Amino acid sequence: MRKWLIAGAGILALGISGASAQNFPTRSVTMMIPFAAGGPTDTVGRLVAESMSKSLGQQVIVENAAGAGGTRAPGLVVKAAPDGYTILLHHIGMSTAPTLYRKLAYNVLNDFEFVGLVTDAPMSLIARPGLEAKDLKGVLEYIAKTKEKTSYANAGIGSASHLCGMLLQAAVKQQFNTINFNGTGPAMTDILGDRVDLMCDQTTNTTGQIKGGKVKAYGVTTKTRVKSLPDLPTLDQAGLKGFEVAVWHGIYAPKGTPKEVVAKLTQALQAALKDPKVIQAFAELGTEPVPQDQATGAALQAKLKAEIEKWRPLIQAAGQFAD
Amino acid sequence: MGFLADFFSGMGANLALGFSQAVTLDNLFYCFVGVLLGTAIGVLPGLGPIATIALLLPITFKLDPVSALIMLSGIYYGAQYGGSTTAILINLPGETSSVVTAIDGHQMAKKGKAGLALFTSAVGSFFAGTVATFLIVGFAPLLASAALKFSPADYFSLMVMGFVAAVVLAQGSLVKAMAMIVLGLLISMVGPSESGAPRFTFDNPEFFDGFDFVALSMGIFGIGEIIRNLEDDTKREAIKSKFFDLIPTKAELKEMIPPILRGTTVGSVLGILPGGGAILGAFAAYSLEKRLSKTPQDFGKGKLAGVAAPESANNAGAQVSFIPMLTLGIPSNPVMALMLGALIIHRIVPGPTLVTDRPELFWGVVSSMWIGNFMLLVLNLPLIGMWVKFLTIPYRLLFPGIVTICCIGVYSVSNNPFDVHTMAACGVIGYVLFKLECEPAPLLLGFVIGRLMEQYFTRAMQLSFGDATVFVREPISASLLAVSAIALVLVLLPAIRKKREEAFAE
């Protein structure tokens, strides 16, 4: 009798969870962002969340859980109930954290379900206004001449500008005098003030300064030119063959989230990436949504795997650890 | 002369454009909503403009960008007004700047002069806000490019001066004050070092980002004060204030004007610097008043100038810190960063071209600031009577509410329960410090400055490739260091110290 009861309860529970997965979502969904409100990742997250709310029929609420170099929010999402009501939007930092942090509280590949890729945000290489180099060739000559006294600004360990700097140093085979700032704002202050030579940061942060003519700009880091900065060549075209880095964004759910729920989230993401409003807003940020076939769990998982392997040797060679 | 005429006619045209934007029914409404919300969150301990603005961001997507920015900036400077209210009434500073106001403001409240303290703070803030608005209108681009000249070495020396100011700030024993500064400095060392490696974290990820200022200050000041009050309930009864004592006598008016003027100047100068100058404004203004005063021993015991100067400096700094954001696109604090984010979502790319590309936005927001400051004055003066009445609520009913709001507020800063634990632990520390007669203000200053000082020191050394003479080679840095050295010698000279100890002996 007891056994039957337990079995019955089990079937009932399965039935309920099946039904709730089918009805998903019946309440608001929380999208965790690992960085402070107002930053480039937050902006991407909020634009997508607003559009996803429309197709899910429930609000997708953005919650900023900044801290520990972007590793606090994934730690929280891993511990959340795997029901699809807590999801994570993270950027390229998801793939560098396993190397940068030796004691990570989660495994990026095993502890998540993958919803899909969102966008590849371009970065651009800029310099202080007083740097004489007119183009990338000039910059490369400057680096060859100045050697390790070439100064490079980044917005903190593990930030996109830090990663681009590591890639740049590997590409030109020259260590820079790297100066860590806490955020793009302070870094930009010392670029504008003619004190630090170079910075490579997300186009969202640099476009205003480039268009205002307050900094020198030499190229974008993506494979193709960026529509909002039509005069800038790609770094690959300008002389750094094969140099390519983009701040890719993906959406994750805790491991064990039902397949139907993940599929619904993926559909909502795909719909958001077709939303003209999102496309237009992305364009102003100098980016565009990934093609529909990339906004899938499989594509995100593959990207994450490839990126972990891409960054591991670079980070290890630089001897960089954040913990 | 022709240049001046051009300058003023240009300014007039800009202001006309600005007011035509700000004085529409819609924008007046959003300005009012902003300052009202700002006042409310400023009054509620712990809840700050960052959490509020982050919460309101989605709503602003639907607004016109000018209205959105008018409302968000209203929240920011409104919170500066409101923040001093709790500092004065219940010794609970929610913002860095009101830590200083709490020193004399709360003593005034204990003497039954809460109304006068609040009046002084409102009027001082309004005056400073008005001056700062005109500074932005007249000189924003000029001031912004001057601020860029400030190098990491200069900032380091400015922070050194802040440390000297912290010593001057202390009322009791000099040794204890220095010990508190060093303790604050040590606490600030917890977290990531400049190279990114964690320090003093005991492998606990919660410590990786260091301690949060709001949690620390709410704990040491606010919760510490509550424990202290519960120990001795009779003391609370002493705080009773009549409504009409808010109207100052002629003598009191005369006493508050010079500190307001000096506070505004100090706050405006420091506020222009994007790298954390505004934080020092209130501290520097207070220290300056104490140095200039003929009766420095009265500071810390409810001196009017001890409220007037830091409050003016604080509000001037808050307004002036819009300059780097609006003219350069550089956020000088996390609130400004959020506002930049709001602009980006409105597809306005902030940067040096904002003033010319979107003049209606720039001048509209600037004009709304003056209107908002005026609204705050009108809003706050009648409220003073209500706030003072609030003190007549029996403490046993009041304190659970304060503790609850503190917890919510501290949690809301970064949605992290660890901050609430920090606050609780700091409450105990604050109580112990009180028992040991150690003042908490120098500790908090040491905490804030310590972090910035290390950052700028590392940066300056990196940029000079390890050459420490950079601090005396650069003219701004050298003069700041010279001023600090002179001030320190004055404080430490044995003869003066003797006199000081006599004057400050309990």
Site from B200, B273, B330, B332 to mutate, A interface, most A CB atoms within 10 angstroms: B330
Tally of CB atoms within 10 A around A280: 11
Q: Output A300-307 pairs: Cβ under 8 A, ≥24 positions apart.
A: A300/A114, A300/A115, A300/A116, A300/A117, A300/A250, A300/A251, A300/A252, A301/A109, A301/A114, A303/A117, A303/A248, A303/A250, A304/A94, A304/A95, A304/A108, A304/A109, A304/A114, A304/A250, A305/A109, A307/A92, A307/A95, A307/A96, A307/A248
Query: If you measure CA to CA, which chain A residue comes closest to B200?
Result: A323
pLDDT at A10: 47
- For chain B, the domain total comes to 1
Size of interface A-B (CB pairs under 8 A): 148
Q: Is A19 exposed, middle or buried (0-12, 13-18, 19+ CB in 10 A)?
A: exposed
Residue A195 and residue B151: Cβ atoms within 8 Å?
A: yes
Residue A156 and residue B196: Cβ atoms within 8 Å?
A: yes
Decide if A90 contacts A273 (C-beta within 8 A): no
Nearest beta carbon to residue A208 from set B332, B334, B349: B349
More confident residue, B302 or B390: B302
On the CB side of B68, how many CA atoms lie within 13 Å of its CA? 23
B86 in a domain, yes or no? yes
Calpha distance A167→A152 (Å, rounded): 12
pLDDT at A16: 46
Decide if B337 contacts A38 (C-beta within 8 A): yes
Does residue B86 surpass a pLDDT of 60?
yes
pLDDT at B486: 87
B346 in a domain, yes or no? yes
- The closest of B186, B211, B212, B289 to B46, measured between CA atoms, is B212
What is the average per-residue pLDDT within B99-117? 87
Band of pLDDT at residue B501, cut at 50, 70 and 90:
low
Any B CB within 8 A of A130 CB:
no
Band of pLDDT at residue B395, cut at 50, 70 and 90:
confident
| Chain A partners within 8 Å of B474 (Cβ) | none
B396 in a domain, yes or no? no
What are the residues facing A117 on neighbouring strands?
Answer: A250
The token pair that represents A39 in the structure block: 């930053």
Mean pLDDT of chain B: 84
Decide if B132 contacts B266 (C-beta within 8 A): no
Residue A188 and residue B330: Cβ atoms within 8 Å?
A: yes
| Chain A partners within 8 Å of B192 (Cβ) | 157, 322
DSSP, res B327? I
B63 in a domain, yes or no? yes
Which phi-psi region, left, alpha or beta, contains residue B306 (left: φ > 0; alpha: ψ -120 to 50)?
alpha
Computed from CA positions of residues B377, B383, B384, B390, in that sequence, does the dihedral angle turn out positive or negative?
negative
The token pair that represents B231 in the structure block: 């120990």
Helix (H, G, I), strand (E, B) or coil at A250: strand
Least Cα separation, residue A292 to chain B (angstroms):
23
Calpha distance B478→B458 (Å, rounded): 17
What is the average per-residue pLDDT within B274-284? 77
Query: If you measure CA to CA, which chain B residue comes closest to A72?
Result: B205
Least confident of A45-54, B36-45, B203-212, B396-405: B203-212
Least confident of A2-11, B158-167, B252-261: A2-11
Least Cα separation, residue A44 to chain B (angstroms):
9
B118 in a domain, yes or no? yes
Band of pLDDT at residue B496, cut at 50, 70 and 90:
low
Q: Is B62 exposed, middle or buried (0-12, 13-18, 19+ CB in 10 A)?
A: exposed
B447 in a domain, yes or no? yes
Calpha distance A251→A115 (Å, rounded): 5
pLDDT at B6: 63
The token pair that represents A317 in the structure block: 């060679």
Query: If you measure CA to CA, which chain A residue comes closest to B195?
Result: A180
Query: If you measure CA to CA, which chain A residue comes closest to B56?
Result: A37
Does residue B352 surpass a pLDDT of 50?
yes
Contacts of B92 (CB under 8 A, 6+ apart): B45, B86, B102, B218, B221, B222, B225, B402, B406
pLDDT at B278: 67
Only one residue has tokens 């310590």, namely: B450
Q: Averaging pLDDT over each range in A115-119, B100-104, B134-138, B207-211, which range is the top one? A: A115-119
Least Cα separation, residue A9 to chain B (angstroms):
36
B397 in a domain, yes or no? no
pLDDT at B110: 83
Decide if B267 contacts B312 (C-beta within 8 A): yes
pLDDT at B238: 46
Mean pLDDT by 10 residues, chain A (323 residues): 50 49 89 87 91 93 84 92 96 93 89 96 95 94 95 89 93 92 86 94 89 93 90 94 93 96 96 94 86 95 95 84 67
Band of pLDDT at residue B264, cut at 50, 70 and 90:
very high
Decide if A189 contacts B148 (C-beta within 8 A): yes
- The closest of A76, A118, A50, A31 to A304, measured between CA atoms, is A118
pLDDT at B488: 80
- Give ∠ CA A321-B199-B213 in degrees, rounded to 5: 115
What are the residues facing A29 on neighbouring strands?
Answer: A60
Residue B353 and residue A211: Cβ atoms within 8 Å?
A: yes
pLDDT at A4: 53
What is the average per-residue pLDDT within B349-374? 87
More confident residue, B159 or A261: A261
Least Cα separation, residue B335 to chain A (angstroms):
9
Any B CB within 8 A of A46 CB:
yes
Nearest beta carbon to residue B57 from set A37, A182, A196: A37
The token pair that represents A123 in the structure block: 């970065």
Domain range for B335: 2-391+402-504
Helices marked H in B170-249 — which ranges?
Answer: 174-189, 213-217, 224-231, 234-237
Least Cα separation, residue B403 to chain A (angstroms):
23
Query: If you measure CA to CA, which chain B residue comes closest to A42?
Result: B341
**ipTM of this model?**
0.80
Domains and CATH numbers, chain A: 26-121+247-318 (3.40.190.150), 123-238 (3.40.190.10)
Residue B205 and residue A284: Cβ atoms within 8 Å?
A: no
pLDDT at B276: 66
pLDDT at A138: 95
Least Cα separation, residue B451 to chain A (angstroms):
11
Least Cα separation, residue B163 to chain A (angstroms):
22
SS3 content of chain A, % helix, strand, coil (to 5): 50, 20, 35
Q: Output A265-269 pairs: Cβ under 8 A, ≥24 positions apart.
A: A265/A52, A265/A84, A265/A87, A265/A115, A266/A115, A266/A116, A266/A295, A266/A296, A266/A297, A267/A55, A268/A52, A268/A55, A268/A56, A269/A48, A269/A52, A269/A115, A269/A116, A269/A118, A269/A295
What is the average per-residue pLDDT within B154-165? 87
pLDDT at A11: 47
B79 in a domain, yes or no? yes
| Chain A partners within 8 Å of B324 (Cβ) | 189
- The closest of B108, B56, B110 to B78, measured between CA atoms, is B56
pLDDT at B477: 94
Query: If you measure CA to CA, which chain B residue comes closest to A48?
Result: B345
How far, rounded to the nearest angstrom, does the alpha carbon of residue A155 sit from its chain's CA centroid?
14
Residue A189 and residue B330: Cβ atoms within 8 Å?
A: yes
Least confident of B53-62, B125-134, B254-263, B465-474: B53-62
Decide if B420 contacts B214 (C-beta within 8 A): no
What are the residues facing A254 on neighbouring strands?
Answer: A112
Calpha distance B230→B233 (Å, rounded): 5
Helix (H, G, I), strand (E, B) or coil at A112: strand
